[in-house]
Amino acid sequence: MNTSIAFLGLGHMGSPMALNLVTAGYTVTGFDLSSAAVDAARASGLTVAGTAAEAVTGADIVITMFPAGRHVIDAYRGSAENPGFLAIAKPGTLFIDSSTIAVDDAKVAHDLAVEAGHRNIDAPVSGGVVGATAGTLAFMVGALEADFALAEPVLAAMGARIVHCGAPSAGQAAKICNNMILGVSMIAVSEAFVLGEKLGLTHQALFDVASTASGQCWALTTNCPVPGPVPASPANRDYQPGFAGALMAKDLGLALDALESTGVAAELGPSAARIYRRFADENGAGQDFSAIINDIRLHSET
């Protein structure tokens, strides 16, 4: 059977992901509310419908790649004037949401889909636009076993690593927990480099010690926030992302919501969320998140 896929949200990530599904042989119809995104997707060779309803009608699978949870829930639900995706889709459609959204929103989206007679999984990604284009994304999946089995080949056409993290919403949970580790560790590494500078240590000396000692972590050895020790890190190209500060601020905001709703006695996660929010609001939104080191220097005493 030729599986037909509606792909909604043809932005930075969605458009290249949809193209990889086409390359893998799926029949894909895309749609985006933004005419610029539609034009770019068409120019890249995607078939784009005139309306969301047209894309969703008759599709076996509906994938969403939207900015935030409210976009997903609103699109699923629809309004009095515009029926939502859940009302338009044929019974038993598999809904895959690959947007990064709050864990609680993922639960709401899942329940709405199931109540409407559909299947739903959350499958947020890491790997950025580079991974979306190369088809090497990592998918973190929250799904019932049977739904995961249905989705896996489709995800495999867009990604290199697919981890079934548990029940619905577990994919979003894994994503924000991982990114909270990343945000906190990048701040820790950056604070250590700035402290080293003040103490007269060279970047290379600190790197040579920490990268082979107990300070070793991805933020240091792959995405090193100072130029030099790791030539491929964004610090060597003026902090062009990579992983943008705006996205780190967003993901830490989602982690903060989850910390608050679960009552975890966390201190570093909320601090990291506050630091990255300030960074994104000042001028870090479009820079790689490792440019937080400049924010630390800026706010340090001279």
Candidate residues 25, 45, 58, 67; the one interacting with ligand NAD per rule CB under 6 A: 67
Question: Residue 243: which of 299, 184, 179 has the closest Cα?
Answer: 179
Candidate residues 28, 53, 75, 186; the one interacting with ligand NAD per rule CB under 6 A: 75
Beta-strand relationship, 137-142 and 125-126? antiparallel
- Helix, strand, coil percentages (3-state) for the chain, rounded to 5, are 55, 15, 35
**Measuring CA to CA, how many Å separate 129 from each of 11, 133, 228?**
10, 6, 24
Annotated catalytic residue, options 90, 175, 198, 250:
175
Q: Which is nearer to ligand NAD, 14 or 171 (CB)?
A: 14
Shortest distance (Å) from residue 142 CB to ligand NAD: 15
Q: Which is nearer to ligand NAD, 20 or 126 (CB)?
A: 126
Contacts 24+ apart (CB under 8 A), 23-26: 23/135, 23/157, 24/157, 26/2, 26/154, 26/157
**Stretch of 2-10, 88-96, 231-239, 258-266 lying at the interface with ligand NAD (CB under 6 A):** 2-10
Phi, psi of 185 (to 5 degrees): -70, -35
- Closest-by-Cβ residue to ligand NAD is 11
Catalytic residue at 175? yes
For residues 199 to 238, the per-residue mask of contacts with ligand NAD, x marking binding by CB under 6 A and - elsewhere, is ----------------------------------------
Shortest distance (Å) from residue 246 CB to ligand NAD: 9
The span from the CA of 121 to the CA of 189, in Å, is 35
Residue 277 touches ligand NAD, criterion: CB under 6 A: no
Q: Residue count at the site for ligand NAD (CB under 6 A)? A: 26
The span from the CA of 256 to the CA of 301, in Å, is 29
Shortest distance (Å) from residue 115 CB to ligand NAD: 20
The span from the CA of 290 to the CA of 293, in Å, is 6
Q: Which is nearer to ligand NAD, 10 or 158 (CB)?
A: 10
Residue 65 touches ligand NAD, criterion: CB under 6 A: yes
**Stretch of 60-68, 165-173, 185-193, 257-265 lying at the interface with ligand NAD (CB under 6 A):** 60-68
The span from the CA of 49 to the CA of 29, in Å, is 6
The span from the CA of 295 to the CA of 278, in Å, is 9
Question: Residue 154: which of 170, 178, 135 has the closest Cα?
Answer: 135
Please give the residues from 86 up to 105 whose contact with ligand NAD meets the rule CB under 6 A.
99-100
Residue 125 touches ligand NAD, criterion: CB under 6 A: yes
- Distance, CA of 288 to chain centre: 15
Residue 37 touches ligand NAD, criterion: CB under 6 A: yes
Residue 247 touches ligand NAD, criterion: CB under 6 A: yes
| CB within 8 Å of 43: residues ≥ 6 apart | none
The set of catalytic residues is 175
Residues that bind ligand NAD (CB under 6 A): 8-14, 31-34, 37, 52, 65-67, 71, 75, 99-100, 125-126, 128-129, 247, 250
